[in-house]
Amino acid sequence: MLTFTIRRLLLAIPTLLFISLIIFLLLDMAPGSPMSQIPLTVPLEVRLKMIEALGANDPIFFRYINWLHKFFVIEPLHVFDGLFGTTFAGDSLRELSWQSRSPVADVIAQRIPQTLTVIGMSYLLGILIALPIGIYSAYRQYSWFDQLGTFISMIGFSVPTFFTGVLLIVVFSVKLHWFPSIYDTTLKVTDWASFGKQVKQMTMPVAVLGLYNAAQISRYMRSSMLENLTQDYVRTARAKGLSERVVVLKHVLRNSLIPVVTVIALGIPTIFGGAIITEQVFKVNGLGQLLITAIYANDLPMVQTLTFIFAVLIVLFNLVADILYGILDPRIRYD
Partner 1 sequence: MTDLAPMKLDEALKPPRNQWWDVWDQFKTHKGALIGAFVLGVLVLAVVAGPLFWRIDPAFIEPDAVKMIRSRNQGFSLAHPFGTDQLGRDMLARMIAGGKVSLAVGLVAMLISIFIGTTIGVLAGYFKRLDGPLMRMTDLFLALPLLPLLLVMVMLFRETLAGMFGPELGTFFLIVFAIGVTSWMQAARIVRGEVLALKEREFVLAARSIGTPSRRVILRHILPNVMSPIMVAATLGIASAIITESALSFLGLGFPPDFPTWGRLLFDGVEYMTQFPDRVIWPGLAISLTVLSVNYIGDGLRDALDPRIRGR
Contacting residues toward partner 1, per CB under 8 A:
15, 18-19, 22-23, 26-27, 29-31, 151, 154-155, 157-160, 162-163, 166-167, 169-170, 174-175, 269, 273-274, 276-277, 280-281, 291-292, 295-296, 298, 303, 306-307, 310-311, 313-315, 318
In this complex, which beta carbon is closest to partner 1, that of residue 160 or of residue 196?
A: 160
Compute the distance between CA of residue 52 and CA of residue 60 in angstroms, rounded to an integer.
Answer: 14
Q: For the CB of residue 89, give the shortest distance to partner 1 in the complex, in Å.
A: 27
Contacts of the segment 80-89: beta carbons below 8 A, 24+ positions apart: 82/106
Compute the distance between CA of residue 265 and CA of residue 43 in angstroms, rounded to an integer.
Answer: 55
In this complex, which beta carbon is closest to partner 1, that of residue 30 or of residue 93?
A: 30
In this complex, which beta carbon is closest to partner 1, that of residue 215 or of residue 237?
A: 215
Q: For the CB of residue 251, give the shortest distance to partner 1 in the complex, in Å.
A: 25
Q: For the CB of residue 226, give the shortest distance to partner 1 in the complex, in Å.
A: 13
DSSP 8-class letter at 248: I
What count of residues does the chain have? 335
Compute the distance between CA of residue 299 and CA of residue 96 in angstroms, rounded to an integer.
Answer: 10
Cβ 71 vs Cβ 95: under 8 Å: yes
In this complex, which beta carbon is closest to partner 1, that of residue 175 or of residue 240?
A: 175
Cβ 195 vs Cβ 213: under 8 Å: no
Q: For the CB of residue 50, give the shortest distance to partner 1 in the complex, in Å.
A: 25
Compute the distance between CA of residue 137 and CA of residue 131 in angstroms, rounded to an integer.
Answer: 10
In this complex, which beta carbon is closest to partner 1, that of residue 28 or of residue 106?
A: 28
Q: For the CB of residue 53, give the shortest distance to partner 1 in the complex, in Å.
A: 26
Q: Which residues, 6+ apart, have CB-to-CB distance to 148 below 8 Å?
A: none
DSSP helix, strand, coil percent of the chain (3-state; round to 5): 75, 0, 25
SS3 103: strand
Compute the distance between CA of residue 76 and CA of residue 329 in angstroms, rounded to an integer.
Answer: 35
Cβ 144 vs Cβ 233: under 8 Å: no
In this complex, which beta carbon is closest to partner 1, that of residue 247 or of residue 314?
A: 314
In this complex, which beta carbon is closest to partner 1, that of residue 88 or of residue 162?
A: 162
Q: For the CB of residue 215, give the shortest distance to partner 1 in the complex, in Å.
A: 11
**C-alpha 227: how far from chain center:** 29
Q: For the CB of residue 269, give the shortest distance to partner 1 in the complex, in Å.
A: 7
In this complex, which beta carbon is closest to partner 1, that of residue 292 or of residue 327?
A: 292
Q: For the CB of residue 216, give the shortest distance to partner 1 in the complex, in Å.
A: 12
| Total Cβ atoms within 10 A of residue 254 | 11
Compute the distance between CA of residue 323 and CA of residue 329 in angstroms, rounded to an integer.
Answer: 10
Q: For the CB of residue 30, give the shortest distance to partner 1 in the complex, in Å.
A: 5
Compute the distance between CA of residue 236 and CA of residue 163 in angstroms, rounded to an integer.
Answer: 48
In this complex, which beta carbon is closest to partner 1, that of residue 78 or of residue 218?
A: 218
